[in-house]
Amino acid sequence: MSIKGLLIKLIQLILPEDQPQEQIQKYFVKGFSGMLLIQVFAMLFTFLATWLLTRFLGKSDFGKYSYLFTIFTLAGILATFGYRSLIVRETAAYMKRQETAKIKGLIKWSARITFAGAIIAYLIATRFILHLEIVSGHFNTKIIWIAALSIPLLAFTHLLQSILNGMRYVLSGNIALQVFKPLILLCGIALLYLLNNTVNLSNSILINAFSFAAALMLSVFLFRYKTGHLLKGSGIQTESKVWIKSGLYFWVLSLVTLANGQADLLILGMLKPMEDVGIYKISLKLAEFVPMVLYLTNIVVAPVYARLWESTQKKSLQHVVNRSSAVFFMTTIPIVLILVMLGKPFMHFFGPGFESGYPALLILMSGQLVNVLMGSVGLLLKMTRNEDMLLYTFLATSILNILLDLLLIPTLGIEGAAIANAASVFCWNIVLSRMLWLKTGIKSSVIISKLTSIF
């Protein structure tokens, strides 16, 4: 059977019978296969670039590198002040109503907000980094000021990505950061080694900053190419009050989500040597393979969830949820088994000493396995217009994560960070699954449906 035929069979298994075959062919096969291809190349280029960096820099310098760009990435995302999610939602709605003037107004408004936010984030993050102990004696502070330009570069790339996603150019919106950026980083590291026969911490940081610039240039080109004809000849209309209120909400949600996901790495870098950060970063990278199918499939089923909920087809929605969660489970178990059996050799592949992160990898995988077993709980809350539950739950679990990090990292090191991470993932999945059931009557996975039917 061809890959296309396999994808059609898969979506026929997931979707209810009333889904038209034309939609299956056009949306799923094109969208899912395209995103799958992007994800494969993204993982390949990221894996190779990470492997080269660990080999050239070693555990300690790779930890410094990872810590710096974790801060840059967080600052770049927060600099958009929540307009990433707002643009996707509002642009899609304006496109449907053919309100081009409002799209142009939203783009102009969000660009101004992002510009101001990027400057503030750049100054704060750079000052914070320059006061860290890891900076002194390792490289010239001018490198930090230059590399911190990644913050505004990333912020505007995310802005353009959100516009393209909102206008349904999903593949064009995701290719710059997910594929092109790690490819440029990989090529830059290889070229530097061929020319100088050495790769150190300072030039690695500069190469990565350049890869952010390259991603922004590609995003600008794709934005102009894909949307230029749609935005010509119309005026500009703004809804600033609505955008400010919604943007603030999404910004707070982004803040607590990022805190929940990155607190362990940041606190680990403050309390432990940088080589622990490097080892833990590899554990996180490998653990990200576990929910890969969940994230890819969510892209496909999100509009289906929304359509079925809006049309009050609750039974069909539960059918889709059960079938999709079964697919998540069946495709995730082989990934988990491979990582359990080969996780230590995989980690040693990055360099001597990295295999010490294998216990942390197992702990992180347990949290991500629960994430998969609970199904698309966060997405379902969004699609059923109960996203406020996400904010409250993420806030509570972020506090739990930070407290556990502060309690466990001083004594357990990277295993303590992994326990805090897995515990927060477990808690927010359990809580959100319960809230989803109370608010909508929908059970977020076939596992929950089976258990409740037994007990």
Concatenating the DSSP letter of every residue in 37-101 gives HHHHHHHHHHHHHHHHHHHHHHHHHHHHHHHHHHHHHHHHHHTTTTHHHHHHHHHHHHHHHT-HH
7: Cα within 13 Å, side-chain hemisphere: 21
Written as six digits, the tokens of 50 are 């990470």
Domain annotation covers residue 21 = no
How much is the pLDDT for 351? 84
pLDDT confidence of residue 434: 86
The pLDDT value given to residue 445: 73
In order, the DSSP letters of 6-17 are HHHHHHHHHS-T
Co-location of 221 and 77 in the same domain: yes
Count structural domains, the chain: 2
Amino acid found at 86: L
- In this structure, the answer to whether residues 127 and 171 fall within a common structural domain is yes
Q: 327 and 283, same structural domain? A: yes
Averaged pLDDT, groups of 10, the chain, 455 residues long = 53 53 51 72 89 89 88 84 70 71 81 88 87 63 86 90 78 86 93 84 90 93 81 69 72 72 83 88 89 75 68 74 78 90 89 89 92 83 74 83 92 93 90 85 71 53
User: So what's the pLDDT on residue 42?
Assistant: 87
- What lies within 8 Å, CB to CB, of 361 at 6+ separation is 283, 286, 287, 339, 343, 347, 418
Same domain assignment for residues 208 and 280: no
What pLDDT, on the 0 to 100 scale, is given for residue 442?
81
The pLDDT assigned to 257 comes to 72
Predicted local distance difference test score (pLDDT) of residue 28: 53
- Per-residue model confidence (pLDDT) at position 448: 64
For residue 455, what pLDDT is reported? 47
One domain, residues 116 and 69:
yes
Residue type, 214: A
pLDDT value, residue 233: 63
The Cα-based distances of 191 to 36, 55, 207 in angstroms read 28, 15, 10
What is the extent of the structural domain holding 314? 272-455
Do 69 and 213 fall into the same domain? Answer: yes
pLDDT at 416: 93
Identify the CA nearest to 158 among candidates 251, 68, 93: 251
**Are residue 232 and residue 153 in the same domain, yes or no?**
yes
Measured between alpha carbons, how far is 265 from 64 in angstroms, rounded to an integer?
11
Do 226 and 291 belong to one domain? no
Let me know whether 199 and 314 are in one domain. no
Please state the separation of Cα 259 from the chain's center in Å: 13
pLDDT computed for residue 200 by the predictor: 87
- Given this model, what pLDDT does residue 340 score? 92
Cα–Cα distance list, 62 to 56, 114, 258, 291, 446 (Å): 9, 30, 21, 25, 41
State residue 18's pLDDT score: 52
| Residues 104 and 227 grouped into a single domain | yes
Domain shared by 204 and 286, yes or no: no
CA distance 436 to 443: 7
**Tokens found for residue 424:** 């927060």
